[in-house]
Amino acid sequence: MAGCGCLSRPFPSCGYFKCARAPLRLAIAEDAPAGIGFRVWRAALILCRYLEQEESVGGGPVRGRSVLELGSGAGLVGLLCAHLGAAAVTLSDQETVLPITRHNAELNRPSLATGAVVRVQEVHWGRDVRRVLPRGSFDLIVGSDLTFFEHLHRQLLLTLLQIISEDTEVLLAHARRKREFDRWEAVFEPYFDIEAISTDDELRASGALKESPEGVWGTTLCSAEERVPVTIFRLRLRGLPPSHAELSGLLGAEQDESCEAILTRLALLESDLDTIEAEGSEDPGPACVPGSSAERAQSVG
C-alpha cells in the first residue's frame, strides 16, 4: 500500500480490516517505528471478530449503545463499533498517539454510514478524567492489550473507576505474552467481577477467525502475523462505584509519587520494551514491514 497522508504528518503504511458480514473494509494507517501505540496488535483483531460474532446473532453489546475505547491507538476496535451500529463512539489515548487516532477516524468517516457520532479524546490514565468522560456516559468500554505494562495496571483501574457506572460493561482483550502480565486481575478484583468469555482458539473453532491466502483473517495489518494466545474478559463492577470523595482520595494518592518510584517505573518500562523487541525477533511468522513490497502485494478478498 502507498503511504497514508494526513493533515499533520504522513503515515508510511495503510492496511485494511475487512468486516465479516458487510462489503466494508476499514482503512487503518499504521506507523510501527513511531511506537507501540501506532500499530494494531493481535488482541485488537481478536476483539473485533468477537464483537462481530456477537452482533451477528443479535443482542450483542454494541448496537445502539455509547462506546468508549481506551488506549485506542490506531482506533480499529472503536471504528468497528461505529460500523456495527453504536450510537456514539469515543476513541481515546494519550496526546502523543492521537495523530494516528484522528487520522484513522477521518479516513473512515465517509464509509461509516451508520449515524454513529465518532469523537477523539485525550486521556491519560491515572489522572482526573471526570470532566471529559463523565460517569454514566458509556454503556460499553472496550480495550485491547491495555494490561501489557504491569506498572500501568493501577492507573488503568483508576481511570475505569472514574468512568464506570453500575450498568457499564467492560470488554478487555489481553494477549497472554507472559504470565506476570496476568497480575492485572489481582489489581482489579477488589472492584470488579472478572470473567473470561472467549479466546482466539474458540473464535477460530466457531469460524469467526479464518486464515486465507487473501490475508490473515481478512486483514493486511501487520499484527495479524503475531503468534500469541488472546483471551477476552468481561468486567462488571462489584457494588456501587466509588464516590466523588473516594475517587479524589485515590487520585491524590496516585499523584503523590516519590522520585524513586518514578525512576523505578521508568526502569520497568525499559525492561518491558526490551521484552517486546526480543519477542519480535523470535517470531517465526513472515515479516510484515510497514509499506514493504510484501505488504503491498497482500490483498483482502
Least confident of 25-34, 138-147, 190-199, 228-237: 25-34
Mean pLDDT of 245-265: 67
Q: What is the pLDDT of residues 87-132, one digit of tens each?
A: 999 999 999 999 999 999 999 988 776 678 999 999 999 999 999 9
At 250 the pLDDT is 85
At 81 the pLDDT is 95
Mean pLDDT of 211-234: 64
The Cβ of residue 280 has, within 10 Å, a number of other Cβ atoms equal to 11
Least confident of 72-76, 137-141, 257-261, 291-295: 291-295
The continuous run of DSSP H or E covering 107 comes out as helix 98-108
**Percent over 70 (pLDDT), the chain:** 72
Q: What is the pLDDT of residues 211-222, one digit of tens each?
A: 544 444 455 565
pTM of the predicted protein model = 0.80
What rounded mean pLDDT belongs to the chain? 80
At 2 the pLDDT is 41
- Cβ neighbors of 24 (< 8 A, separation 6 or more) are 18, 83, 111
Residue 64 zone, left/alpha/beta (φ > 0; ψ -120 to 50; rest): left
Band of residue 14 on the pLDDT scale cut at 50, 70, 90 = confident
The continuous run of DSSP H or E covering 171 comes out as strand 169-175
Mean pLDDT of 255-273: 56
Mean pLDDT of 214-234: 66
Q: What is the pLDDT of residues 61-78, one digit of tens each?
A: 999 999 999 999 999 999
Q: Hey, what's the cell of 206? A: 466457531
Phi, psi of 65 (to 5 degrees): -110, 165
Residue 9 zone, left/alpha/beta (φ > 0; ψ -120 to 50; rest): beta
Q: Which domains, from first to last, does the chain contain?
A: 51-205+228-289 (3.40.50.150)
At 56 the pLDDT is 87
At 213 the pLDDT is 41
Mean pLDDT of 22-36: 84
Mean pLDDT of 158-185: 89
**Percent over 90 (pLDDT), the chain:** 48
At 18 the pLDDT is 81
At 195 the pLDDT is 96
